[in-house]
Amino acid sequence: MDDLTTLARHHLDQAKSDPHGRSAHLFLHDGPLRQSVIAMVSGCELDEHNAPPAASLQVLHGHVRLTGGGDRMDLIAGQVQGIPHERHGLRALEDSVVLLTAVTATHGCPTPNEEAAATA
């Protein structure tokens, strides 16, 4: 069993000493399910990247901004948000740690983009 509080503290300490200002750890990998702790110092940014078929972001510590599709959403500790099904980025507005939960494959279960394409 992993302790999220301990992981968050450890990786925030790592991020503070990292030249890129971040530290991440994949701590659960079960088939298509992935859970990672990502720590970022204030001002650190994850550039836009593609979305997995399904994902959520929970803020464990701090304040982050999730961007995607021209939208932006500020999230604080205790809040959880689904990841947009499009390219998106993340910026730490203060020293922050997030829990990323992602499903990397959906065998027999179409993603929202696949559903939209099928009905178009």
DSSP 7-41: HHHHHHHHHHHSTTSEEEEEEEEETTEEEEEEEE-
pLDDT of residue 70: 81
| pTM for this predicted structure | 0.85
Specify the number of domains making up the chain. Answer: 1
CA dist., res. 41 & res. 20, Å (int): 9
Coil/strand/helix, residue 6: helix
State the DSSP code for 93: S
CATH code (residue 114):
2.60.120.10
pLDDT, tens digit, 9 for 90 and up, residues 14-32: 999 999 999 999 999 999 9
Torsion angle, CA of 65/18/77/92, rounded to 10 degrees?
A: -20
Are 46 and 66 in contact by the 8 Å Cβ rule? The answer is: no
* Domain assignment of residue 107, given as a range: 4-118
pLDDT, tens digit, 9 for 90 and up, residues 54-106: 999 999 999 999 998 788 999 999 999 999 889 999 999 999 999 999 998 87
pLDDT, tens digit, 9 for 90 and up, residues 33-66: 999 999 999 999 999 999 889 999 999 999 999 9
